[in-house]
């Protein structure tokens, strides 16, 4: 499975007063790549599904905080 995080370089105008940002990131959720729900998708156990927020491993997208140590 490829990474769900994408990176791009924002445009910086010649007269932009802000300090330059080298790159920005965003997450593409996995449901954007599934056209329809195929039959017999594997499922998490119910306690694990409640903990992870989805019943199907194909739709799981872990949240990684950008805040260090929180």
What's the pLDDT at 38? 84
Rounded CA separation 5/40 (Å): 27
pTM of the model as a whole: 0.62
What's the pLDDT at 69? 56
pLDDT digits (tens, 9 = 90+) for 36-67: 888 889 999 999 999 999 999 988 888 777 77
Q: Which two tokens stand for residue 19?
A: 């300090």
């Amino acid at each position: 499975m490829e990474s769900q995080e994408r990176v791009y370089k924002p445009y910086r105008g010649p007269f932009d007063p802000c300090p330059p940002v080298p790159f920005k990131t965003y997450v593409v959720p996995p449901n954007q790549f599934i056209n329809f729900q195929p039959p017999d998708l594997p499922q998490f156990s119910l306690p694990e599904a409640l903990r992870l927020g989805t019943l199907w491993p194909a739709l799981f997208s872990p949240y990684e905080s950008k805040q260090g140590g929180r």
